[in-house]
Structure 1
Amino acid sequence: MTDTPGTEEGLRARKRRETRQRIAEAGLRLFLKNGFEATTLDAIAAAADISRRTFFHYFSSKEEVVNAFESSADEAFRAAIADEPLDEAPLDAVRNAFLKVIASYETKQAIAIDGLLRSTEALCARKQANYARKEQMLFEALSARWPDPERRASLRLVAMVGVGALRLAAETWSIEQGRRPLGDYLEEAFRGLRTEITT
């Protein structure tokens, strides 16, 4: 029995996704163990059981390996926004979607990853760029959920302040080493935002 072309392509895509994930996980383990600067591409390739050449079929740099974890979170946020009810206020939808997704990131490893992102100038710059990308992603998700063209400007503002609240919550959570759940910090940030808006 032979695979149909569609099945063959599906298997190929799944194999590629699994290899990419294996490389990212191997890289993250080494970054957290040895530090970002001390970890070489050759070490990542060896830990992932691939060649250095194969590494570049999946990632262009070590920084991009770190970014892979941010990208997976963005897709989860996008899906969570799509699941929010249409009769809900967009800002509430953003808060609820964030709370739903971050529940799976409240671990010691997540705090360690955040520390890793602050460990070099290059990663700090990428972290800031990730917030800008997340804001654009959120705006697109909100616009797809509430497609009225007249709401685009206000939805962009919701995306901006929503990501700002997430950023503040995540920074405080990391500084305090996860003393309380990340969701608590996020709820506080959104409450503070609403207070300032309504006073």
Structure 2
Amino acid sequence: MRLGLREQKQRETRLRIANTGLKLFLANGYEGTTLDAIAEEAGISRRTFFSYFKSKDDILLTWQEGAWDAMRAELLKVSPDETPLDAVRKTLINDVSRYESDHMIAIDRVMRASETLKVRKQAAYAAQENALYTTLCEVWRQPQRRQALRAVAMVSVGAMRLAIEAWANQRGERPVAEFLEEAFANVKAAVR
């Protein structure tokens, strides 16, 4: 789907604000960065900021939105003959492999430094689980599979959380995809 000029400008402005906010968070810390500083650096007014984001913590969660949109699009292309857990595993590993470790480590550090962001991150995981479940139901449409698909969504987001936590604790020495692969292997071994 091709975006109109207005939608393209809005998307570019949102991305510019998000990138500016992230740059300032990394330089000054989350608490040390004000909305006014983000707006000024992005070349917008404070009021315009609120046309794109509800709060400054929304900036850090934007990169996750894009990742989940891409993952959803990938999952919708999966054959229903594949097992849901394997499809999610492959899609998640493929998705996280696209991101630079240094960038992900920096974002993770900023998010862990703020209690507000830690709470928002937990809420984002719940939303991701629900979005994943909805997507799985679009691929595997049989109503009798709903509970199993809900379990796959829960386990998959849980495996992702454990993998990201383990990866962050070792400060990016190994790619996050390796931790994700291990987490899913542990899940499969435990349910056999």
TM surpasses 0.5: yes
Cα distance in 2, alignment partners of residues 106 and 96 from structure 1: 18
Aligned residues: 191
Q: Which runs of 5+ in 2 are unaligned?
A: none
TM-score by length of structure 2 reads 0.96
* SS class of match (1:83): coil
**1:54-133 correspondence to structure 2 within 5 Å:** 54-133=48-127
* SS class of match (2:32): coil
1:150 maps to what in 2?
144
Per the TM alignment, residue 83 of structure 1 is displaced from its structure 2 partner at its CA by 2.1
**Contact conserved, 2:136 with 2:149, CA < 8 A, in 1?**
yes
Matched AA of 1:119: A
- The structure, 1 or 2, with the larger RCO (C-alpha pairs under 8 Å, 6+ apart) is 2
Cα distance in 2, alignment partners of residues 65 and 188 from structure 1: 30
* SS class of match (2:26): helix
Q: Give 4+ residue runs of structure 1 displaced > 2 Å after superposition.
A: none
TM-score by length of structure 1 reads 0.93
Cα distance in 2, alignment partners of residues 57 and 192 from structure 1: 43
1:188 maps to what in 2?
182
Q: Which runs of 5+ in 1 are unaligned?
A: 1-6
Cα distance in 1, alignment partners of residues 185 and 129 from structure 2: 20
- Of structures 1 and 2, the larger Rg is shown by 1
**Contact conserved, 1:172 with 1:185, CA < 8 A, in 2?**
yes
| Aligned-pair Cα RMSD in Å | 1.2
Per the TM alignment, residue 80 of structure 1 is displaced from its structure 2 partner at its CA by 1.7
